[in-house]
Amino acid sequence: MPGIGNEIGFATLPQHVHRKYAKKGFDFTIMVVGESGLGKSTLINCLFLADLYKGRKTVNVDDLVERTVEIQKKQLDILEKGIKLKVTIIDTPGYGDAINTKNSFHLVENYVDDQFNQYFKDESGLNRKNIVDNRVHCCLYFISPLGRGLTQLDIQFMKRLHQKVNIIPIISKADALTPNELHMLKKKVMRDLEEQHISIFRIPECDSDEDEEFRRKDREIKFNKFKTDDA
């Protein structure tokens, strides 16, 4: 029987899992949702230091009015500290652009549901070795800086998706607002979310083994959010 000092068994399971996934890599899917002109493409390009929308053409006003929602996928392979990460960006051009926005969220909602159903089907099958995880893990939802909080389209979309996807609301082009205007808009958005019982992504607590720099940034983000919510 192996002694306690031998490196086998459940005691080393975290290390085995880490090595396995470091070799295999991770899949992460981000969905980007919002009306045209809110800076979605710019933010994604800045996040990943890449021009993912190089061939995109500007839609003229006449076409914009009758435009329907599309689903477009772009993929990036990232390697950081020996860990592979395959990032899939799900873009939704046409969302909220038409005059009648009543059904704008249906295609997006159906897409999210289809990915969950496909993953469940693959997990329930016999061959689970090469399953590709296409589920949407995070949704960046862009909010117009020109309004006074959430629109009905914003509310209906988030109500339908908040139990399925981690939603991160983003006030677009916030640098066009004064600090006071931005502060008031954040408070109004948070109040609307609370009144509509919409859950959004919350920053989790730090793990005990995180370094001090990570802990400092985590405290700073939470402190700024706390000031916005309670001021």
36 occurs within a structural domain:
yes
Label residue 37 left, alpha or beta by phi (over 0 means left) and psi (-120 to 50 means alpha).
Answer: left
How far is residue 223's CA from residue 211's CA, in Å, rounded to a whole number? Answer: 19
pTM to 2 decimals?
Answer: 0.78
β-sheet bridge partners, residue 78: 85
Instruction: Encode 62-72: b = buried (16+ Cβ within 10 Å), e = exposed.
Output: eeeeebebeee
How far is residue 112's CA from residue 164's CA, in Å, rounded to a whole number? Answer: 8
Q: What CATH number has the domain bearing residue 169?
A: 3.40.50.300
User: Which band of pLDDT confidence, cut at 50, 70 and 90, is reported for residue 159?
Assistant: very high
64-117 pLDDT, tens digit each: 555 667 888 888 888 777 778 888 999 888 787 766 666 677 888 999 999 999
Residue 136's domain spans which residues?
23-52+60-203+210-228
189 occurs within a structural domain:
yes
The predicted pLDDT at position 43 comes to 87
**Mean predicted lDDT score pLDDT of the chain:** 78
